[in-house]
Structure 1
Amino acid sequence: MDSMDLEVLKTCARWQQQGKACLLVTVVTTWGSSPRPVGSMLVLNAHGQVAGSVSGGCIEDDLIARVQQQGIVQSVPERVTYGVSAEEAHRFGLPCGGTIQLVLEPVGPRSQIAELLTALAAGQLTRRSLNLRTGAVHLSAAQPSGQLTLSNDVLDTIHGPRWRLLIIGAGPLSRFLASIATGLDYQVTVCDPREEYRSEWTLPSVPVVHAMPDDLVLEMQLDTRSAVVALSHDPKLDDLALMEALKSPAFYVGAIGSRINNQRRRERLKEFDLNEQQLARLHGPIGLYIGSKTPPEIAISILAQMTAIKNGVDLPEQTSVALAKESAQIGMSGAECALKSA
């Protein structure tokens, strides 16, 4: 599963190869409420086919209608603003007087879409600088903290995963977690030194590294845009890696397991001289409580918790798996007592 931005770029390249004229559309500025954030992209061709999204659908419909009526006539990028008036904002589904500005770029040889995809396939985080006066593009290395900027008639956009996820263990749950995380624009690495698990891995877009997890944690030099999830169920693999991850600036560190197993894990980690503050960073049982039972459901639960923390959302304590299950158990015990006393 590709991220939406990568899907847009791949579709753009494919249409170029097929000789179809197309427009690459990027959200560059928003005011008030808007359906899609700055940096969102879509590509549409002269036949009205679309990949990606810049709104809830109404702006896409207007762009398609324009292209079908007029064709793709631009020779250089064009800025277009939607939602200036209250009537237009309502028409295009922009709530609370929201306004959105787009750059419409006619795609051609100077767009360097194929070159950008080559860089992304090599794992390079890339800045794409578009000259709005000429349509010329320059590619360069980018930093994870880079953001879209629009100044002096140059639009700079950042492409490539800016978040990293290390998954320890190559079991079925890891496969679903890796697949969905890739769609969320994470650069995913799976680590498992066990040959029997690596040989059954069926996700070619995500590499499985044959290394000890704690060595890989140190090698990756985790930063505030990194997450580590331990899913091997093997303390020999998980514990040392978790110890190193909890000492790092990683924004999320979690481990699979029951409440009892996670309590035992915390007791073991105390022996590695982790302090209470570091131990408190460990999410386990992992994920948000959504009643998940199957690997796909558990993967969604884990990524929901990761996403909330990444986005700075202060989750209520009741959403944790441990507290929710404890509350449910207390509720069942209370019901049993009521039945006995009836």
Structure 2
Amino acid sequence: MNVGGDQEVLERAAAWLEAGTSVWLVTVAATWGSSPRPPGSLMALTEGGLSVGSVSGGCLEADLTQRLGKPEGTPQRLQYGVSSEEAHRFGLPCGGRVEVIAEPLQDAAAIIPALAACCERRRVYRQLDLRSGVVTWRPAERESVPLSVGEARLGKLFGPTWRLLIIGDGQLSRRVAEMAAALDYEVIICDPRVEAPEEWDCAAARLETRMPDDTVLALADDPRSAVVALTHDPKLDDMALMEALGCKAFYVGALGSRRNSAGRRERLAELGLTTRQLNRLSGPIGLPLGGRSPAEIAVSIVAELTAVKYGVSLGQRPDTLLSTHSADTHRRGVEV
């Protein structure tokens, strides 16, 4: 199961450290021009060349292994792509430049609070003194910036990966799961109807067989979670939406035609949801891309999820072709 960026790096680094292997923790501190990985990207590297994460998409990692050597001393600041020759050598596009900070670690205590914050779905701020190597921690504040780099310090915000809870297993759900996992979401598919959980075969997601409302409350009540209801079964979808529209999830969507979506809103209103809560619901789900196949509809769902995640205004959405296509495809016997 994909747990996403920082958490995966921290888990592997902690395991190496607890086994007695020292580690370089490498952070992209700054970039100029085009660069393969954004500031804040994380990588852990052992002296023996084992690594997890990425700071360049593959073009700098081999050089870092040779250049850094044994993880010891104080943090190092390294630049790549300063000259056009070096940029070409390391495969940096368009004359891009990358600055990384490599921090030697001998004790897992240096990263355990960050890992705990990721696992417990809360945020913590870690500050590294680049002269001494001393690490300090403080709770993250609302205005905390994700990355802060100075002459003598590196501050980075650690917290949970983005999580997507999909209600209902099926062909569309699995296409959405695969695309979301590729975008570093932790993906969970909830479906109490699965008869043989031990035979679950979706590598992109883990399975939950609790009832949808219980699963939403347990796993999606935070601002880095999204909930999409894709079962075509009002009993299950409505159970999930009742809780999701009242929780902290940053996005809530449900599949269905325009007519079905209107009926869903009426049912939810009768069950006590407020107009403000109902206005949070994206339904019919997805951007109006005109897709018909499960994969095409999954693209529209993940595209809308991405836009909302980054605060991109979608404006006044027209009556979506997606809802018509979803209904047409379903009538032809293809699960959507």
User: Cα distance, 1:104 vs. partner?
Assistant: 0.7
Contact conserved, 2:250 with 2:309, CA < 8 A, in 1?
yes
Aligned mates of 1:325, 1:300 — CA distance in 2: 14
| 1:283-328 alpha-carbon deviations (Å, 9 max, x no partner) | 424466555437xx7656533431233234567989x6617949x9
- 1:7-27 residue CA offsets vs partner (Å, 9 max, x unmatched): 222332333344444311100
Letter of the structure 1 residue corresponding to residue 128 of structure 2: L
Q: 1:134 to 1:54 in 2, by over 3 A?
A: same
**Normalized per residue, which structure has more helix?**
1
Give 1:228's aligned residue.
227
By how many angstroms is 1:82 displaced?
Answer: 1.8
Q: How far 1:45 moved relative to its partner?
A: 2.1
Q: Which has the larger radius of gyration?
A: 1
Which secondary structure state, in structure 1, belongs to the residue aligned with residue 197 of structure 2?
Answer: coil
Task: Tell me, yes or no, if the aligned pair for 2:220 and 2:227 is still in contact at 8 Å.
Answer: no
C-alpha distance in structure 1 between counterparts of 2:174 and 2:48, whole Å: 37
**Letter of the structure 2 residue corresponding to residue 87 of structure 1:** E
Who is 1:13 aligned against?
14
Query: What amino acid does structure 1 have at the position aligned with 2:197?
Result: E
Alignment-derived partner of residue 200 in structure 1: 197
Seen in structure 2, the aligned counterparts of structure 1 residues 212 and 46 have a Cα distance that, compared at 3 Å, is closer
| SS class of match (2:65) | helix
The range that moved more, 196-205 or 119-128, is 196-205
Using the alignment, how far apart are the partners of 1:161 and 1:301 within structure 2?
A: 25
Distance 2:169 2:323 in 1: 28
Pair 321,3 (structure 1): closer, same or farther in 2 beyond 3 Å: farther
Q: Rate the CA distance shift 1:66–1:127 in 2: closer, same or farther, 3 A.
A: same
* 2-structure distance, mates of 1:86, 1:76: 29
Distance 1:215 1:178, change over 3 A: closer
Distance across 2 between alignment mates of 1:11 and 1:187: 17
Matches of 1:108 and 1:165, distance apart in 2:
34
Q: Cα deviations across residues 237-288 of structure 1 (Å, max 9, x unaligned)?
A: 4347546756778543211235654454356567678769965952424466
SS in 2 for 1:29: strand
In structure 2, the partner of 1:338 is none
Three-state SS of the structure 2 residue aligned to 1:36 is coil
Change (3 A) 1:46 1:222: closer
Contact 1:170 1:198 in 2 (8 A): no
CA shift for structure 1 position 153 = 2.3
Instruction: Tell me what 2:213 maps to.
Output: 213
Q: How does 1:86-101 map to 2 (within 5 A)?
A: 86-101=84-99
The partner residue of 1:141 within 133, 139, 158 is 139
Note closer, same or farther for the CA distance 1:17–1:251 as it changes in structure 2 (3 Å cut).
closer
Q: Greater shift after overlay, 152-161 or 37-46? A: 152-161
Change (3 A) 1:119 1:244: closer
The alignment's C-alpha RMSD in Å is: 4.5
Q: 2:70 & 2:215 partners in 1: Cα distance? A: 53
Read off the aligned partner of 1:105 and give its amino acid letter.
E
Distance 2:59 2:174 in 1: 36
C-alpha distance in structure 2 between counterparts of 1:117 and 1:254, whole Å: 30
Which residue in the other structure is 1:75 paired with? 73
* Residue of structure 2 equivalent to 1:2: 3
Give me the whole-angstrom Cα distance separating, in 2, the residues matched to 1:212 and 1:129. Answer: 39
2:160 alignment counterpart? 161
Deviations 1:205-240 (A, max 9, x none): 8584846639956996665x4422112322234347
Q: How far, CA to CA, are the matches of 1:145 and 1:169 in structure 2?
A: 36
Asked whether the equivalents of residues 167 and 212 of structure 2 are also in contact (C-alpha less than 8 Å), the reply is: no
Q: Is the 8 A contact 1:4 1:183 kept in 2?
A: no
Question: Alpha-carbon deviation of 1:185?
Answer: 4.9
Report 1:228-307 matches (<5 A). Answer: 228-239=227-238, 242=241, 251-258=250-257, 261-262=260-261, 264-265=263-264, 268=267, 282-286=282-286, 292-293=293-294, 302-307=301-306
Q: Which runs of 5+ in 1 are unaligned?
A: 330-342
Q: Normalising by structure 2, what TM-score?
A: 0.71
Correspondence for 1:57: 58
Q: CA distance change for structure 1 residues 110 and 260 in 2, over 3 Å: closer, same or farther?
A: closer
- Give me the TM-score of the superposition, normalised by structure 1: 0.70
| SS of 1:80 mapped into structure 2 | strand
Q: Give the number of aligned pairs.
A: 320
C-alpha distance in structure 2 between counterparts of 1:119 and 1:325, whole Å: 42
* TM-fit CA distance, 1:128: 2.5
1:40 Cα deviation after fit: 0.5
